[in-house]
């Protein structure tokens, strides 16, 4: 079950990153072009929230139920904090991912409440851009990560 969950988590991460990048660039384009609020942007934000919530659910199951890394870290958290690899899986990865998912939710809510098209685009670009950056910084296999897993696990 652990291997299947890791694979689904990896593929869903890629889908979420692509969605966030698309939404972020739509927000920037709308901001600089002065375009009206697109219906497709609102729909993509909903899909991104659903993907983020699925990703969170699988991530929490991995963290608390299936992961041997976090099980090892939980046995001796003091020692885990001294080990870069265990600290990444026990604290850093989850913290950055949780913040990123919060950014997705905040972005969707604030964009929905935006009074003007410009405000919609600013909020969309800001919050979905922060979510994108957080996931890229905290995901294994990225150029910033030193943690041995590949970016896309199939």
Question: Each residue's pLDDT tens digit in the chain (154 positions)?
Answer: 989 999 999 999 999 999 999 999 999 999 999 999 998 889 999 999 999 999 999 999 999 999 888 888 889 999 889 988 888 888 999 999 999 999 999 999 999 999 999 999 999 999 999 999 999 998 887 666 666 566 666 6
**Residue 57 forms part of a structural domain:** yes
Domain of 98, in residue numbers: 2-138
d(CA 87, CA 89) in angstroms, rounded, equals 6
First-residue to last-residue Cα distance in the chain? 14
**Residue 71 forms part of a structural domain:** yes
CA distances from 65 to 5, 40, 116 (A): 11, 37, 45
**Residue 89 forms part of a structural domain:** yes
Domain count, the chain: 1
**Residue 151 forms part of a structural domain:** no
Q: Is 146 helix (H, G, I), strand (E, B) or coil?
A: coil
**Residue 22 forms part of a structural domain:** yes
**Residue 119 forms part of a structural domain:** yes
**Residue 87 forms part of a structural domain:** yes
């Amino acid at each position: 079950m652990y291997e299947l969950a890791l694979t689904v988590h990896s593929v869903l991460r890629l889908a979420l990153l692509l969605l966030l990048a698309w939404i972020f660039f739509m927000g920037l384009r709308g901001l600089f072009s002065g375009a009206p609020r697109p219906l497709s942007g609102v729909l993509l934000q909903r899909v991104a929230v659903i993907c983020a919530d699925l990703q969170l659910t699988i991530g929490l199951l991995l963290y608390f139920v299936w992961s041997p890394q976090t099980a090892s870290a939980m046995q001796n958290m003091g020692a885990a904090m001294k080990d870069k690899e265990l600290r990444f899986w026990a604290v850093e990865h989850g913290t950055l991912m949780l913040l990123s998912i919060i950014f997705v939710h905040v972005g969707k809510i604030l964009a929905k409440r935006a009074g003007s098209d410009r405000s919609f685009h600013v909020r969309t670009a800001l919050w979905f851009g922060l979510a994108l950056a957080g996931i890229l910084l905290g995901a294994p296999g990225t150029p910033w990560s030193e943690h041995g897993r590949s970016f896309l696990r199939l």
